[in-house]
Amino acid sequence: MKKTVVCDFRLPNFMKEKLQMFYDVLDFSAEALVEKPLEGHPDLFLAQINENLVVAPNCPKYILYYFNKNSIFYQFGEQSVGFSYPEIARYNVSANQKYLLCNSSICDSQILKWSDELEIISVKQGFCRCSTLILPQNIFITSDKGMAQTLEKRKLNVHLFSDENIVLSGYKHGLLGGCLGIDEENKRIIISGSLDTLQSGKQLRLLFQNLTYDLLELGDTALHDVGGFFFIS
């Protein structure tokens, strides 16, 4: 049985077709619930804390129906996602088995509850998952300079990459975390485009390869910020 990947409903068909070679694809759409450029971004409504999935109470009902039908365990958060910042970023956190990266002043309390055994790193940036992916090896991949500086002060292993060429309609550019997803079970990184279009993309490719990840680049295009890829089973 294939894993399910939750991704932006606007992901181009040629990218979805490539994903479907490995996964069941669940399109995510929160139309009218958030700002239009972000209405397909699952990282605004879903937070993965190790094996736990925390879901915003106003997550689209068809997503909840899919979870229930397929016996996917999840826990509701306390607060709904708002239309704009900061309420839009309540669930936009990045985590691995050791760390939770969030803005604790806006993060949903249920996420903090599920993270009581993790080291919580609170930062000013509210869009933590949009900007940053934490690998299981405790390596932080980010396109946010302020985030990188905060993590460096903590002596953490952080790698900063430019977001200049990342596409997000309605914005000057997108953020790197929103272009990535990690399927740790299959040691695979999903990338919404080609790393060759990213400044220092060769260095990021080498970093992933040195960690023995397979790379699934979904096209030869520029990277698109699609709110990340969430793998559930």
| Tens-digit pLDDT profile for residues 20-51 | 999 999 999 999 999 999 999 999 999 999 88
Q: Which residue has the tokens 């490719």?
A: 205
Q: Cα dihedral sign for 120, 205, 198, 181?
A: negative
Q: Does the pLDDT at position 68 exceed 90?
A: yes
Pairing of strands 99-102, 119-122: parallel
Mean pLDDT of all residues belonging to the chain: 97
pLDDT of residue 78: 98
pLDDT of residue 51: 84
Query: pLDDT above 70 covers what percent of the chain?
Result: 100
pLDDT of residue 98: 97
Q: Does the pLDDT at position 1 exceed 80?
A: no
Q: What is the mean pLDDT of the segment spanning 203-220? A: 98
Tokens of 177: 């975390």
Number of domains in the chain: 1
Q: Cα dihedral sign for 101, 103, 104, 108?
A: negative
Instruction: Provide the CATH number for the domain around residue 16.
Output: 3.75.10.10
- Which tens digits make up the pLDDT trace of 75-121? 999 999 999 999 999 999 999 999 999 999 999 999 999 999 999 99
Q: Does the pLDDT at position 151 exceed 90?
A: yes
pLDDT of residue 16: 98
Q: For residue 219, what are the domain limits?
A: 3-232
Distance (Å) of CA 6 to CA 27, 63, 103: 6, 9, 24
Around Cβ 32, how many Cβ atoms within 10 Å?
8
